[in-house]
Amino acid sequence: MDHAAQAADPHAEIRVEVTKLCARFPGEYWRQVDRDRQYPTSFVQALTEAGYLGALIPEEFGGAGLPLSAAAAILEEIHRSGGNAGACHAQMYIMGTILRHGSAEQKKRYLPKIASGELRLQAFGVTEPTSGTDTTALRTVARREGDNYIVNGQKIWTSRAEHSDLMLLLARTTPRDQVAKKTDGLSTFIVDMKAALGNGLTIRPIRTMMNHNTTEVFFDNMVVPAANLVGQEGRGFRYILDGMNAERLLIASESIGDAKWFIKKAVDYSKERVLFGRPIGQNQGVQFPIARAYAQMRAAEALLLLGLGKFENGENCGEEANMGKMLAADAAWAAGEACIQTHGGFGFAEEYDIERKYREARLYQVAPISTNLVLSYIGEHVLGMPRSY
């Protein structure tokens, strides 16, 4: 289905423009950066120049001041066109923490430069090797010393760290056994990574199943000016949580884009490939998995739109954001399965792009939150069952 053709879609024009931009970065481009594990610099630059990465930054700070649904449309179209927004999507939702909780000085200093592309805010340092999903058990410590904080510890899966100027970092400022609630005592900082690199900050790339430019980072007495603390000390976990529904809705839109890409590719091929005297798509065994994935995608998309609407009205969209993210990731995976199966052996050939998209789509059942944790959110917060962890 071509969404750009839907008159009711308020972002139809953005979709058309993003699709045009993406046409300049075809399968060959993504295959090459994937093969060489490179950062898609020219693609990210083109997106930045067109203003898409500053879509959510208010106009007073040089951004486009668009609603979350516009950002979702941008990311969906990148994925529907066969690309991967994983190289830059975090900029869209990380900056929300600075926008909502940063000081006037921080907003003035960073947001216009992020909007113009002069500074990249693409690294988000939350996950640690020992604590994983159990975020409040993280061990990175920031200790106040005069006008600075001294940071020691380690993060893992800090994506885009080598290609970002700034990192939003979550660290413990009060030990867990000295706070009333384990969610207290965590603080959020803006780290100038270029200044810190080699001065207490070390970055080590991790090669992964897909090209995600992810890394592990080490802090060894890294100095962060106290002026870079976001909001109040000890309230950082809440600030990060605040942005999570937006992140889930945006990631869901990428999965919807992936599902649409797989479905179109599968449908087209099923009509072209003729065996036993008829197109393979005439066989129900080929048709039904694609049709089922389409139905799953549409259901997830409906939930996503509901979540985006609630978010934009300032309503709590936790239920829709979580369920939308999980169902969209499942739909993308079902569509990927149908697509690879429809293509038979050709589905495994690099030049068809299917195996690459298949690897990329799998991530979203694990990150930024894994399916089990979404299910426990539904069990506890929607259905009122006892907390399971």
Ligand X SMILES: Cc1cc2nc3c(=O)[nH]c(=O)nc-3n(C[C@H](O)[C@H](O)[C@H](O)COP(=O)(O)OP(=O)(O)OC[C@H]3O[C@@H](n4cnc5c(N)ncnc54)[C@H](O)[C@@H]3O)c2cc1C
Cα–Cα distances in Å, from 26 out to 30, 263, 288? 7, 18, 29
Q: Among 148, 208, 287, 341, which residue interacts with ligand X (rule: CB under 6 A)?
A: 208
Binding footprint of ligand X, residue count (CB under 6 A): 23
| Structure-block tokens of residue 26 | 């075809």
Task: Examine residue 389 and tell whether it contacts ligand X (CB under 6 A).
Answer: yes
Task: Examine residue 130 and tell whether it contacts ligand X (CB under 6 A).
Answer: no
Nearer to ligand X, 126 or 328 (CB): 126
C-beta atoms surrounding 238 within 10 Å: 15
Task: Examine residue 212 and tell whether it contacts ligand X (CB under 6 A).
Answer: yes
- Nearest residue to ligand X, by Cβ distance, number only: 132
Candidates 73, 137, 191; CA nearest to 389 is 137
Q: Among 370, 378, 380, 381, which residue interacts with ligand X (rule: CB under 6 A)?
A: 370
- DSSP type of residue 232: S
Task: Examine residue 253 and tell whether it contacts ligand X (CB under 6 A).
Answer: no
Peptide bond into 58 cis (omega under 30): no
What is the smallest separation between the CB atom of 159 and ligand X, expressed in angstroms? 4
Distance, in Å, from the CA atom of 149 to the CA atom of 190, rounded to the nearest integer, reads: 11
Binding track over 146-165 against ligand X, x by CB under 6 A: -----------xxx------
What is the smallest separation between the CB atom of 264 and ligand X, expressed in angstroms? 25
Contact 253, 75 (CB under 8 A): yes
Strands (E), 185-289: 186-192, 201-205, 215-225, 229-230, 274-275, 278-279
Task: Examine residue 96 and tell whether it contacts ligand X (CB under 6 A).
Answer: no
Q: Among 106, 164, 214, 270, which residue interacts with ligand X (rule: CB under 6 A)?
A: 214
Nearer to ligand X, 46 or 375 (CB): 375
What is the smallest separation between the CB atom of 193 and ligand X, expressed in angstroms? 13
Q: Among 139, 367, 378, 381, which residue interacts with ligand X (rule: CB under 6 A)?
A: 367
Distance, in Å, from the CA atom of 296 to the CA atom of 135, rounded to the nearest integer, reads: 31
Contact 247, 199 (CB under 8 A): no
Task: Examine residue 282 and tell whether it contacts ligand X (CB under 6 A).
Answer: no
Q: Among 225, 366, 379, 381, which residue interacts with ligand X (rule: CB under 6 A)?
A: 366
Distance, in Å, from the CA atom of 247 to the CA atom of 241, rounded to the nearest integer, reads: 10
Nearer to ligand X, 14 or 171 (CB): 171
User: Quick one: which segment of 76-84, 120-128, 310-318, 348-356 binds ligand X (CB under 6 A)?
Assistant: 120-128
Q: Among 133, 199, 283, 316, which residue interacts with ligand X (rule: CB under 6 A)?
A: 133
DSSP 73-110: HHHHHHHHTT--GGGTTHHHHHHHHHHHHS-HHHHHHH
Q: Among 43, 93, 124, 333, which residue interacts with ligand X (rule: CB under 6 A)?
A: 124
CB neighbour burial string for 171-206, b if at least 16 within 10 angstroms, e if fewer: bbbeebeebeeebbbbbbbbbbbeebeeebbebeee
Backbone torsions φ then ψ of 113, nearest 5 degrees: -75, -30
Q: Among 127, 228, 253, 342, which residue interacts with ligand X (rule: CB under 6 A)?
A: 127
Nearer to ligand X, 25 or 124 (CB): 124
C-beta atoms surrounding 145 within 10 Å: 10
Nearer to ligand X, 289 or 324 (CB): 324
Residues paired with 197 in a beta bridge: 201
User: Quick one: which segment of 60-68, 125-133, 248-256, 301-309 binds ligand X (CB under 6 A)?
Assistant: 125-133
Q: What is the residue whose two structure tokens read 């400022």? A: 173
Contact 149, 140 (CB under 8 A): no
What is the smallest separation between the CB atom of 135 and ligand X, expressed in angstroms? 9
List contacts with ligand X (CB under 6 A): 124-127, 132-133, 157-159, 208, 212, 214, 363, 366-370, 372-373, 376, 388-389
